Structure 1
Amino acid sequence: MASTTDSSAPPAGPDGRAPATGPGGGDRPDVPEREAASGGPRRSLGGRIGSVEVLASLLVLLIVFRAPLAGALSAPRLQTWTTVFVSVLVQAVPFLVFGVLLSAVIAVFVPRSFWARALPRHPALAVPVASAAGVVLPGCECGSVPIAGSLIRRGVTPAAALAFLLAAPAVNPVVLAATAVAFPGAPEMVLGRAVASLVVAMVMGWLWLRLGRADWIRLPRRPELDGASRGAAFWAAVRHDVVHAGGFLVVGAMAAASINVLVPERWLQTLADSPVLSVLALAVLAVLLSICSEADAFVAASLSQFSLTSRLVFLVVGPMVDLKLISMQAGVFGRRFAVRFAPATFVVAVGVAGLAGAVLL
């Protein structure tokens, strides 16, 4: 008598049930077996350490070393550092947020073709008009770079778009208002910053018309905004600018506080006493700190050892040539563009701002 049991069926397990099978009829390992094969559960002692474990370790260290940490935090130098750092952030953050929001509104809701229709057809005349148009863009250089790229894609001459890129972060109402707040006793700083920045932007635009080459620019693209709704594009632009500008603002505030605490006063005074060295020192410092243009006036105001002229150079150079701006220009327009445009802008900005300071301050 033939058996009715299928001889190919897998034998029953100890509990009387057949084990699960995977694709192709093979035995499927149970969950504990999979964990054993992969080195155990993810949060086991042998697994990868996650953020929860790191946070718990930090809390334990803070508890264990709370006494020496309390003594270190009460040191006068650290208290001074904290005071300068917090004061820079508290004064700058409202201007930064306001500027990022308005910049995103203009970038998303104003048609890109509007700029091409608003500018004169002659490139030499379009440069000063584009520079003056920076007044209507309340944002930092983080927003002006992609907008300048959009202008070039829409047919705006590169000279005009680059003039707009340089002028917008320095002559818009938010930045000028922040400068007035940071220098309440020196209203000429606002005028000097606006005039010098406009002149630098126009000079660089005209220099590009004379010396620039089209193959130095790689046409930009913002794939995260292409095809997105206006609401999604708006919040994407806000998140992008807040992350970049806010992060560099924190770094700049930390650097400014560190300079006030770590650098000996006699060193700063030696640089400040020399008109040439003070200008060059703050120009290089503006490049290295990479502070958002809505916040750099408060950092400049904290460098009270230096003359108004050298601090004006700091305010003019920073929004046009700094490390984050150079990296953004290289990413948007190409490396061949950045290695030529940034050094030329630095030289022109230092010269024009120094001359403006000598005349207006």
Structure 2
Amino acid sequence: MQDTGTLAVGVFVESFPFVVLGTLVSTAVQLWVPQRLLFRLLPKSAVLRRAVLSLLGVLLPVCECGNVPLARGLLRRGLSPAEALTFVFAAPLLNPVTIITTYQAFGFDHGILLARIIGGFCIANLIGAMFATANSPERLLQPDFAASCNHAHTHDDVSGGKLGRFGGTFAAEITLLMPALAIGSLLAGVFQILLTQDSLLPLGSHPLWSVLVLIGLAAIVSVCSTVDAFFILGFASVFMPGAITAFLIFGALIDVKLLILLRTTFRAKTLALATLIALLSTAAIGFGVNLLNA
């Protein structure tokens, strides 16, 4: 029980500053970035717009959990759910800190770094493209959050001082997100205790099973994308390069902690479909990397 608590606290402490930073930026976007300016800066083409939003991770070097509050702010500024999901999934993989730490851990060996960057970008935009076809985009969102977005679109000019509005909005967002982060961190701690490294090692040399095993590990351990390369480096002598690649891609896209945070904004069906797309796409990339390195 003590080990579970220690692991859970570790995940929470690692994620907390990024969630706070993301919430600060989100609050600033909601209050002080005019909707017309945001849309003027983005391409009119839906495909290009999602691609540009993917690159926001270059400008905001936080891990995946810190991008959730910013995505909420962008949704309230009028972005579609498909565009917000593209940003959430692409940004941590294109984060310069993530790229640098991955290079420090693996260099250009086995194509791991390039596969992580290019593969992650493609998967995020594939998820966005799939949800862009939804007949009722608002049904991808939690009803309460969708209602708050409609309210925000029609109440841009709110009375009160700027600092007071900023503090109130920040407090409301952080109050909603912190319990989700705590629950996600606790679940990650429990799962890490239940899963032993010894049970994974026999599958490390199989071109497909090794990929699936490390995808599962990535979802469970919930390590932030800015440091996950150093975590998985210890497995590199046992697991194939494609499995390492799959861990690095999928862990930045989907993990227990992130799903709990995203549940504050998106419906469970939305997240289940996004997880399935990410799982199948990551497995294909990981298997492909293994074949290329055979």
The reply to whether TM is greater than 0.5 is yes
Partner of 2:39: 116
Contact in 2 for aligned 1:123/1:157 (Cα 8 Å):
no
Partner of 2:57: 134
Partner of 1:325: 258
3-state DSSP of counterpart to 2:208: helix
Which of 227, 231, 239 matches 1:306? Answer: 239
- In structure 2, the CA distance between the partners of 1:104 and 1:174, relative to structure 1 (3 Å rule), is farther
Q: Which amino acid aligns with 2:228?
A: D
- In structure 2, the CA distance between the partners of 1:154 and 1:185, relative to structure 1 (3 Å rule), is closer
Partner of 1:276: 208
Separation in structure 2 between the aligned mates of residue 247 and residue 292 of structure 1, nearest angstrom: 16
Separation in structure 2 between the aligned mates of residue 94 and residue 185 of structure 1, nearest angstrom: 28
Q: Which amino acid aligns with 1:108?
A: T
Residue 107 (1) aligns with residue 26 (2)? yes
Q: Which moved more, 1:340-349 or 1:238-247?
A: 238-247
Q: Which moved more, 1:276-285 or 1:158-167?
A: 158-167
Superposed displacement of residue 311, structure 1 = 1.1
Contact in 1 for aligned 2:72/2:265 (Cα 8 Å):
yes
Q: Which amino acid aligns with 1:311?
A: I
Separation in structure 1 between the aligned mates of residue 66 and residue 176 of structure 2, nearest angstrom: 9
Contact in 2 for aligned 1:116/1:154 (Cα 8 Å):
no
Superposed displacement of residue 127, structure 1 = 1.7
Separation in structure 1 between the aligned mates of residue 223 and residue 147 of structure 2, nearest angstrom: 23
Q: TM-score, normalised by structure 1?
A: 0.60
Which of 122, 126, 130 matches 1:199? Answer: 122
Q: Which moved more, 1:346-355 or 1:161-170?
A: 346-355
Over aligned residues, Cα RMSD in angstroms? 4.0
How many percent of aligned residue pairs carry the same amino acid? 25
Q: TM-score, normalised by structure 2?
A: 0.72
Deviation string, structure 1 residues 277-303 (Cα, Å, up to 9, x no partner): 000111112122223222322221222
Q: Which amino acid aligns with 1:340?
A: L
3-state DSSP of counterpart to 2:86: helix
- In structure 2, the CA distance between the partners of 1:172 and 1:95, relative to structure 1 (3 Å rule), is farther
Query: Structure 2: any 5+ residue segments left out of the alignment?
Result: 153-157, 159-163
Q: 5 Å matches for 1:185-334?
A: 185-186=107-108, 188-210=111-133, 213-218=136-141, 220=145, 228-230=164-166, 262-264=196-198, 267-304=199-236, 305-334=238-267
Separation in structure 2 between the aligned mates of residue 197 and residue 347 of structure 1, nearest angstrom: 13
Separation in structure 2 between the aligned mates of residue 96 and residue 251 of structure 1, nearest angstrom: 14
Separation in structure 1 between the aligned mates of residue 49 and residue 172 of structure 2, nearest angstrom: 30
Contact in 1 for aligned 2:74/2:84 (Cα 8 Å):
yes
Partner of 2:82: 159
Which of 170, 176, 189 matches 2:99? Answer: 176
Q: Which moved more, 1:312-321 or 1:339-348?
A: 339-348
- In structure 2, the CA distance between the partners of 1:98 and 1:193, relative to structure 1 (3 Å rule), is farther
Superposed displacement of residue 252, structure 1 = 5.7
Contact in 2 for aligned 1:330/1:337 (Cα 8 Å):
no
- In structure 2, the CA distance between the partners of 1:222 and 1:237, relative to structure 1 (3 Å rule), is farther
Contact in 1 for aligned 2:220/2:255 (Cα 8 Å):
yes
Contact in 2 for aligned 1:253/1:299 (Cα 8 Å):
no
Which of structures 1 and 2 has the bigger CA Rg?
Answer: 1
Query: Structure 1: any 5+ residue segments left out of the alignment?
Result: 1-77, 79-84
Question: Whose RCO is larger (CA < 8 A, sep 6+)?
Answer: 2
Q: Which moved more, 1:339-348 or 1:183-192?
A: 183-192
Q: Which amino acid aligns with 2:82?
A: A
Superposed displacement of residue 99, structure 1 = 4.6
- In structure 2, the CA distance between the partners of 1:322 and 1:206, relative to structure 1 (3 Å rule), is same
Partner of 2:155: none
3-state DSSP of counterpart to 1:273: coil
Superposed displacement of residue 322, structure 1 = 1.9
Name the structure with the higher helix share.
Answer: 2
Superposed displacement of residue 163, structure 1 = 0.8
Separation in structure 1 between the aligned mates of residue 258 and residue 135 of structure 2, nearest angstrom: 19
Separation in structure 1 between the aligned mates of residue 24 and residue 264 of structure 2, nearest angstrom: 23
Q: Which amino acid aligns with 2:262?
A: Q
